[in-house]
Amino acid sequence: MTKQNPLLAEWNTPFEVPPFDLITNEHYREAFKVALDESDDEIKRIANNSIEPTFVNTIAAMESAGEVLSKVSGVFFNLSGSHTNDEMQTIQRELAPMLSAHHSKIMLNAKLFARVEVLYLSRDELDLNAEAKRVLERYHSNFVRSGAKLEGGQRERMAEVSSELATLGTQFSQNILADESAYELVLEKGDDLAGLPDFLISAAAAAAKERGHEGKYVITLSRSLIEPFLQFSSRRDLRERAYNAWIARGENEGDTDNREIIAKTLKLREERANLLGFKTFADFKLDDQMAKTPDAVRDLLMKVWKPAKKRAGMEAKKLQELANSQGDNFKISPWDWRYYSEKVRSTEHDLDESEIKPYLQLDKIIEAAFDTANRLFGLTFEERYDIPTYHEDVRTFEVKNSEGDHVAIFIGDYFARTSKRSGAWMSGFRSQEKLKGEITPIIVNVMNFAKAPQGEASLLTFDDAHTLFHEFGHALHGMLSNVTYPSISGTSVARDFVELPSQLYEHWLEEKEILSKYAVHYKTGEVMPDELIEKLKAASAFNQGFATVEYASSALVDLELHTMPAKDAQDIGQVEKDILEKIGMPEEINMRHRTPHFAHVFSGDGYSAGYYSYMWSEVMDADAFEAFKETGDAFDRETAERLLTNIYSAGGSRDPAELYVEFRGKMPEIDALLEGRGLKNVA
Residue 511 lies in a domain: no
Same-domain pairing of 11 and 154: yes
- Per-residue pLDDT band for 538 (boundaries 50, 70, 90) equals confident
CATH of the domain at 33: 1.10.1370.40
Q: What is the pLDDT, as a whole number, of residue 680?
A: 87
Same-domain pairing of 19 and 137: yes
Could you write out the three-class secondary structure of 264-280? HHHHHHHHHHHHCCCCC
Q: Once rounded to an integer, what is the mean pLDDT over residues 600-624?
A: 95
Same-domain pairing of 14 and 143: yes
Domain-ending residue, one of 137, 153, 178: 178
Domain-ending residue, one of 129, 153, 178: 178
255 φ, ψ to 5°? -65, -25
DSSP state of 596: G
Same-domain pairing of 20 and 161: yes
Q: Once rounded to an integer, what is the mean pLDDT over residues 223-232?
A: 94
Q: Once rounded to an integer, what is the mean pLDDT over residues 643-655?
A: 98
SS3 456: coil
Of the listed ranges 389-398, 473-482, 536-545, the one predicted with least confidence: 536-545
Same-domain pairing of 585 and 667: yes
Encode pLDDT of 255-284 as tens digits.
Answer: 999 999 999 999 999 999 999 999 999 999
Residue 169 lies in a domain: yes
Same-domain pairing of 169 and 218: no
- Per-residue pLDDT band for 664 (boundaries 50, 70, 90) equals very high
439 φ, ψ to 5°? -90, 120
* Domain tally, the chain: 3
Encode pLDDT of 106-120 as tens digits.
Answer: 999 999 999 999 999
Would you say residue 681 has pLDDT above 90?
no
Supply the range of the domain harboring residue 75: 2-178
Would you say residue 621 has pLDDT above 60?
yes
430 φ, ψ to 5°? -155, 140
In which element (H, E) is residue 410 found? strand 406-415
Distance spanning both ends of the chain, measured CA to CA: 69
Q: What CA–CA distance (Å, rounded) separates 609 from 556? A: 9
Are the C-beta atoms of 288 and 494 separated by less than 8 Å?
Answer: yes
Same-domain pairing of 648 and 552: yes
User: Where does residue 528 fall: left (phi above 0), alpha (psi -120 to 50 degrees), or beta otherwise?
Assistant: beta
Encode pLDDT of 155-185 as tens digits.
Answer: 999 999 999 999 999 999 999 999 999 999 9
Same-domain pairing of 208 and 83: no
Q: What is the pLDDT, as a whole number, of residue 547?
A: 96
SS3 429: strand
Q: What is the pLDDT, as a whole number, of residue 432?
A: 98
Q: Once rounded to an integer, what is the mean pLDDT over residues 659-676?
A: 93
Would you say residue 1 has pLDDT above 60?
no
Q: What is the pLDDT, as a whole number, of residue 467?
A: 97
Number of Cβ within a 10 Å radius of residue 204: 26
Domain-ending residue, one of 117, 146, 178: 178
Give Cβ neighbours of residue 375 (< 8 Å, ≥ 6 apart).
635
Q: What is the mean pLDDT of the chain?
A: 96
Same-domain pairing of 171 and 192: no
SS3 211: coil
**DSSP bridge partners of 381:** 399
Residue 500 lies in a domain: no
Same-domain pairing of 52 and 113: yes
Q: Once rounded to an integer, what is the mean pLDDT over residues 558-564?
A: 98
Residue 474 lies in a domain: no
- Supply the residues annotated as catalytic: 471
Encode pLDDT of 500-529 as tens digits.
Answer: 999 999 999 999 999 999 999 999 999 999
- Per-residue pLDDT band for 682 (boundaries 50, 70, 90) equals confident
Are the C-beta atoms of 592 and 554 separated by less than 8 Å?
Answer: yes
**DSSP bridge partners of 218:** 186
Nearest alpha-carbon partner for 239 in 176, 196, 189: 196
Amino acid at 423: G
Same-domain pairing of 58 and 80: yes
Are the C-beta atoms of 35 and 72 separated by less than 8 Å?
Answer: yes
Q: Once rounded to an integer, what is the mean pLDDT over residues 611-616?
A: 96
Encode pLDDT of 291-337 as tens digits.
Answer: 999 999 999 999 999 999 999 999 999 999 999 999 998 999 999 99
Q: What is the pLDDT, as a whole number, of residue 2?
A: 58
Encode pLDDT of 232-257 as tens digits.
Answer: 999 999 999 999 999 999 999 999 99
Angle at 397 between CA 391 and CA 400, to 5 degrees: 160
Q: What is the pLDDT, as a whole number, of residue 3?
A: 63
Same-domain pairing of 173 and 299: no
Are the C-beta atoms of 339 and 231 separated by less than 8 Å?
Answer: yes
Query: pTM for this structure?
Result: 0.95
**DSSP bridge partners of 186:** 218
CATH of the domain at 313: 1.10.1370.10
Are the C-beta atoms of 216 and 188 separated by less than 8 Å?
Answer: yes
414 φ, ψ to 5°? -100, -20
Nearest alpha-carbon partner for 253 in 621, 596, 521, 666: 596
